[in-house]
Amino acid sequence: MTTSPGPIKVSRMVSWMVFLGVAATFVLGACGGADEQDDRAPEEVLASAKTTLDETSGVHIVLSTDKLPPGTSGILNADGIGTHAPAFEGTLKVATSGITADAEVVAVDDVVYAKLPFTTDFTPIDPGDYGAPDPAALMGTEGGLSSLLTAIEGVKEGEPARAGELVLTVYTGIVSGDVVASIIPTASADSDFDATFTLTDDDVLNEAVLTGPFYPGGDDVTYTIKFDEYDTSKNITAP
């Protein structure tokens, strides 16, 4: 004679099976999330990063190079807040006539004001005299830094890697000189520039690196451009 399990044993068996089912669902879901990949083409990701940069209210930008070709007048460093007014407020370090000079800068309404060394007041300047761009133009949605993201050709996507709390992916390719020259006017418009973009996993441009003939008659120069403090709000006005 076969004895059926009592109601208490059946209840325990059902509870245990439910528990196993929930646990399995959780584990499988977690594994799927960890292995989930972005199926978008690299160009789509970079276009999304351009939109993010174009739509932010403001961002901290640091543009720098270790050195310029001997005898070259140009920009060594720019560090400040850029907004889509467009406007910029920060500092510039330029090399001109063999001299390196630091200046506080405010760029707004198509005018660049600088407090030059040994002066106490801001005065309008032509940044082209120092081989530098109008820093406010860096934030232009057309012809600004974000334009580099959608101008890249032959783009290759690297493997994601964790850097602290960030997951970063590197994209490499070539950007034509006419695009680069719209940002730094001394760049050779007829040459190609090596480009590397580093993005976070939520399509935010973290860093851009450009290498090429930025200045006539000199060796290639590498500029590194770092971005952080997205969505900064700053009212930049003429001094």
Q: What are the structural domains, with CATH classification, of the chain? A: 44-228 (2.50.20.20)
Quick: pLDDT tens for 185-210. Answer: 999 999 999 999 999 999 999 999 99
For 106, the enclosing helix (H) or strand (E) is strand 99-108
Confidence band, pLDDT 50/70/90 cuts, at residue 31: very low
- Lookup: tokens for 205: 């441009």
Any alpha helices (H) in 162-202, and if so which ranges?
Answer: 177-181
State how far the Cα of 50 lies from the Cα of 148, in Å rounded to an integer.
8
| Residue 78: predicted pLDDT | 95
Confidence band, pLDDT 50/70/90 cuts, at residue 37: low
Quick: pLDDT tens for 110-140. Answer: 999 999 888 889 999 999 888 888 999 999 9
Residues in a beta bridge with 81: 60, 89
> Mean pLDDT of all residues in the chain?
87
Quick: pLDDT tens for 132-157. Answer: 889 999 999 999 999 999 999 999 99
Quick: pLDDT tens for 10-30. Answer: 445 444 444 444 444 433 344
For 33, the enclosing helix (H) or strand (E) is helix 7-35
- In 3D space, the residue among 138, 140, 128 whose CA is nearest the CA of residue 74 turns out to be 128
pTM score of the predicted model: 0.83
